[in-house]
């Protein structure tokens, strides 16, 4: 028989399971099947949900103040849900337990294939880092870190101080070395907002999204197109200090939106603050192998496939950037770019230069 505290932990865990619809009937059935509880009333369920609301409020007071109740009811799904997937009324594991598990896996890499063990270790330690952020009074309304790939990362030593700075709204001081050997190191100062992991085809690395600030700034207005992206492995002499400026966020500000309308992560937003996505259209033959591939693995969430005419037309709403151009250059013999015209002209120029380079001795 579960005591009330253990029952709350079980229901909290059900909220954390993406595929589980939390309502009275589903929780009653779960408790009956797994813990042989003969009777669990709807009144008890309501009381448990309210208790979880209070526990969440205690753990995340600033998030509750900003977003309202952290447990809400969906009329469309007929169930309750946590407003964010990275919150919990109870810590699932202590920091010590997570680190012990990570260390055990680290010592038994031979039991895993293709670097899977190291990937699990990285994710467990990332969980520990994020759990540590709960000591701050304010919790961001966006995730501080996004993981997509497994294995070691250049620049990973900078993750912990940057995550701390994200939570504390502290400022980073660093010098930055661009990829070019001739590039001069430059000094930067800014408040970090989130860390993103990205596989750009060459290697997988860490990047940090920063609102750049100057020493004399007291109030900084922050919006998506004022942000700047830096690779962690090229950030040198990193120091953290208390920020003297206040960030004012634009309405609906959500840093992950920085990456929403493009392929990859390289944006031209600083040189072109008004940058917008465009309708990009390509044509494929009905026999093209790319049709099956793009159907199974869409290039972008905005992808639409039209099979009504001769051949196949595929459209995306995307910002034009170097990674999109590189994709079309790579598959220039498999598809035809229809629009926009500016993109067609740019690709045509790139192909002419490529042919010239091939002809040179």
Please report whether residue 270 resides in a domain.
no
pTM to 2 decimals?
0.56
253 and 291 within one domain: no
Cα distance between residue 70 and residue 165, in whole Å: 25
158 and 59 both lie in a single domain:
no
The pLDDT assigned to 196 comes to 82
Is residue 231 within 8 A of residue 281, CB to CB? The reply is: no
Q: Does residue 124 register a pLDDT over 70?
A: no
* Cα gap 360→136, rounded to integer Å: 60
More confident residue, 114 or 40: 40
- Picking from 339, 278, 342, 286, the residue whose alpha carbon sits closest to that of residue 309 is 286
Whether the Cβ atoms of residue 172 and residue 243 lie closer than 8 Å to each other: no
End-to-end CA gap in the chain:
81
Tokens found for residue 10? 């079980």
- How many folded domains does the chain comprise? 3
Share of the chain above pLDDT 90, in %: 14
Q: Does any domain span residue 226?
A: yes
Length of the chain, please?
Answer: 361
d(CA 294, CA 298): 5
What's the rounded mean pLDDT across residues 343-360? 85
Q: What is the pLDDT of residue 203?
A: 47
Asked if 317 and 280 count as a contact pair (C-beta separation under 8 A), the reply is yes
pLDDT value at 153 more than 80: no
The answer to whether the CB of 235 falls within 8 A of the CB of 176 is yes
Residue 8 lies in a domain: yes
State the pLDDT at residue 304.
92
Averaged pLDDT of the chain:
80
User: Nearest CA to 227 among 275, 187, 186?
Assistant: 275
pLDDT, average across residues 176-187: 77
- Quick one: average pLDDT of 257-278? 85
Using the CB atoms, write b or e for 319-336: b if 16+ within 10 Å.
bbbebbbbebeeeeeebe
Which residues, at least 6 apart from 170, have a Cβ–Cβ distance to it below 8 Å?
Answer: 164, 191, 240, 241, 242, 243
Q: Is residue 38 part of a domain?
A: yes
**Which band of pLDDT confidence, cut at 50, 70 and 90, is reported for residue 39?**
confident
CATH code for position 347: 3.30.70
- pLDDT value of residue 122: 65
User: Is 225 found in the same domain as 192?
Assistant: yes
Domain stops at, among 225, 259, 293: 259
The answer on pLDDT for 216 being more than 80 is no
Quote the domain boundaries for residue 247.
136-259
Q: Tell me, what's the pLDDT at 47? A: 92
Assess if residue 266 is contained within a domain: no
Q: Which of 190, 225, 259 is the last residue of a domain?
A: 259
């Amino acid at each position: 028989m579960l005591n009330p505290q253990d029952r709350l932990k079980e229901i909290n865990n059900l909220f954390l399971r993406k595929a589980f619809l939390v309502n009275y009937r589903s929780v009653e059935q779960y408790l009956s099947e797994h813990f042989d509880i003969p009777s669990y009333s709807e009144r008890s369920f309501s009381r448990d949900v309210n208790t979880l609301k209070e526990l969440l409020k205690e753990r995340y007071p600033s998030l509750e103040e900003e977003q309202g109740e952290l447990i809400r009811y969906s009329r469309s799904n007929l169930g309750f849900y946590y407003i964010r997937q990275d919150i919990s009324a109870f810590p699932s594991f202590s920091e010590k337990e997570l680190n012990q598990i990570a260390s055990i896996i680290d010592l038994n890499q031979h039991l895993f294939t293709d670097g899977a063990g190291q990937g699990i270790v990285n994710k467990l330690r990332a969980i520990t880092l994020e759990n540590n952020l709960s000591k701050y009074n304010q919790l961001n309304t966006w995730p501080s870190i996004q993981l997509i790939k497994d294995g070691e990362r250049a620049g990973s030593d900078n993750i912990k101080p940057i995550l701390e700075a994200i939570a504390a709204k502290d400022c980073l001081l660093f010098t930055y070395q661009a990829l070019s050997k001739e590039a001069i190191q430059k000094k930067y100062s800014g408040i970090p907002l989130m860390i993103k992991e990205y596989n750009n085809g060459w290697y997988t690395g860490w990047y940090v999204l920063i609102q750049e600030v100057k020493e004399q700034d007291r109030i900084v207005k922050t919006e998506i197109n004022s942000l700047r992206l830096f690779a962690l492995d090229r950030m040198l002499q990193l120091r953290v200090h208390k920020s003297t400026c206040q960030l004012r966020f634009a309405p609906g500000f959500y840093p992950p939106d920085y990456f929403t309308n493009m392929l990859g992560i390289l944006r031209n937003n600083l040189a072109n603050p008004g940058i917008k996505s465009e309708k990009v259209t390509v044509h494929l033959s009905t026999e093209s192998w790319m049709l099956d591939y793009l159907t199974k693995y869409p290039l972008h969430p905005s992808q639409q496939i039209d099979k009504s005419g001769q051949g196949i037309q595929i459209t995306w709403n995307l910002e034009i950037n170097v990674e999109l151009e590189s994709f079309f250059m790579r598959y220039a013999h498999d598809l035809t770019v229809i629009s926009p015209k500016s993109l067609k002209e740019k690709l045509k120029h790139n192909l002419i230069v490529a042919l010239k380079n091939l002809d040179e001795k």
